[in-house]
Amino acid sequence: MTRDLDNLNKFQKIQINHILDENKEKDARQKPIRTYLAESYILHEIWEVGDFFQIAQVTRRKDRDKSKEVVYVTFIDYKPTGDMAMSIDQALLVCLSTKYESLHSPFVNYAERMLGMKTEVEYLKKANN
């Protein structure tokens, strides 16, 4: 179904332009993440959590024919933290830990034990490996 843009009133045109502008802004913000992940990963989705955290759901290109294991790459202010997580929950813990503690803080392990999560953080050497 296509929409006839000539027959819209002024308010409807403003709404549509606002939505298009928001999408352009979002694409511009996420471009560094897409560029960083392009060579080594197949990007599925990017979540922006607040103003600081971004989490990308990816599959490794090497695993294309194998298990297709989904992992979550973490970013703070659109810059990679160098960490991957096996779940979205763990990725959020990694972002919190990196922002407020340090890169390899024991916070993630303590929080996982407290919440009963059985996962481990995978540290990236480089995104291109």
Side-chain-side CA neighbours of 18 within 13 Å: the count stands at 6
pLDDT of residue 27: 84
pLDDT of residue 55: 94
Whether 48 is in a domain gets the answer yes
Whether 128 is in a domain gets the answer no
Q: What is the pLDDT of residues 71-128, one digit of tens each?
A: 999 999 999 988 888 888 888 888 888 888 776 677 777 777 777 776 555 555 444 4
Element (H, E) at 91: helix 88-100
Token pair 């989705």 in the structure block, residue: 45
| Domain extent at residue 95 | 8-123
Whether 71 is in a domain gets the answer yes
Q: How confident is the model at residue 7 (pLDDT cuts 50, 70, 90)?
A: low
Whether 1 is in a domain gets the answer no
Q: Is the pLDDT of residue 58 over 90?
A: yes
For the chain, the domain total comes to 1
